[in-house]
Structure 1
Amino acid sequence: MSMSVSRRRVVVDGDACPVKAEIARAVRANGATALLVSSHAHVLKPEPSVEVVTVDASDQSADLYIANVLTNSDILVTGDYGLAALGLARGSAVLTPRGKEIRETDIEGLLEQRHFSARQRRGGVRTKGPRAFTEEDRDRFQQKLTTLLRGMQEIPNV
């Protein structure tokens, strides 16, 4: 019985991801690959170690594509908590573009907060959006992604 080894991969919800350049640098430096998934509305360019997949612009197309290709040896980069929940269910590590690792113990509360905020907005309440993305966020993301990539063991496929 032969065993092959899968390479570490970072799967990226690419439409609104502010850390694409950091991901490309990290995967090249750590012998991994990245898969950026985006809609036709966002043109992303492939580069060494970075594959780009473009899906149609319909709502949730990128999320559905990502959910169908994720494995337990992937790191998912997304700010979408619904997609994060799908990633966790697939056994993937999940990291936000701000460098926060989302774990199983976090996701229920994050989804409840998302639902509560959406319900308030539908009721006419103005809710605050996310704070501005900073260089500290970028640095924290780069450090956390590098740590995750270095900590991942090559996973044998039987």
Structure 2
Amino acid sequence: MILVDADACPVKEEIYTVAFRHKTPVRLFAGQYLRHPDHPLISMTMAGDAFDAADDLIAEAAGPGMLVITADLPLADRAIKAGAQVMTHRGEALTAANIGGKLATRDLLADLRGGLEGQTLGGPRPFSKSDRSAFLQALDRALRTLGA
């Protein structure tokens, strides 16, 4: 099963395409209803407006044999600890071996931003066609690894 942190996920259509090919169920989690295909493999869980409500539901549902798609590093850490495989919407695998460093970098950058009020540090690079392609390839590989 694929669990998707869906509120800001730019690759939902790609997830559906690969999931249909592999006949793998997809469960979307979001604060409120998101349009999605009316298909037996696709389900939607609305978490409501509470802070991190969708993340909490994903973390509870995550476990061995599941793939979580998220860019949220604290959520990724929780899913990894629950035994799930995790990847970002750019196709990057997040693992027990690399999540600690990524969380530390995230925290350091948050501290730096806090001390530079009024200044712009930029953000992630724009999502590109090559990112979309890399995601599709990584998702296909991950589902084959899970035996889907």
Query: What is the TM-score with the length of structure 1 in the denominator?
Result: 0.87
Distance 1:119 1:73 in 2: 35
How much does 1:153 deviate?
3.0
1:11 aligns with 2:7: no
Partner of residue 57, structure 2: 65
What are the equivalent positions in structure 2 for 1:4-153 lying under 5 Å apart? Answer: 9-40=1-32, 43-48=34-39, 49-123=41-115, 124=117, 126-153=120-147
Measured on the aligned residues, the alpha-carbon RMSD in Å equals 1.3
User: 1:110 & 1:33 partners in 2: Cα distance?
Assistant: 29
Q: CA deviation at 1:95?
A: 0.6
Q: Residues 92 and 80 from structure 1, CA distance in 2 versus in 1: closer, same or farther, beyond 3 angstroms?
A: same
Contact persistence 2:3–2:68 (CA under 8 A): yes
Q: Give the drift of 1:46.
A: 4.5
Any idea what the Cα deviations from partners look like across 1:93-128, whole Å, max 9, x if unmatched?
A: 111000111111111110001101111122225322
| Structure 2, unaligned runs of 5 or more | none
1:104 aligned counterpart, secondary structure:
coil
Contact kept, 8 Å, 2:79 with 2:85, in 1: the verdict is yes
Q: Deviation of residue 44 (structure 1)?
A: 3.0
Q: Comparing both chains, which one has the higher relative contact order based on Cα–Cα distances under 8 Å and sequence gaps of 6 or more?
A: 1
Deviations 1:53-112 (A, max 9, x none): 111112101100101111111000000110010011011111100011111111111000
CA contact (8 A) 1:35 1:51 kept: yes
Runs in 1 of length 4+ with deviation above 3 angstroms?
none
What is the CA–CA distance in structure 2 between the aligned matches of 1:30 and 1:47, rounded to whole Å?
17
Q: Distance in 2 between matches of 1:144 and 1:61?
A: 27
Higher strand share: 1
Gaps of 5+ in 1: 1-8
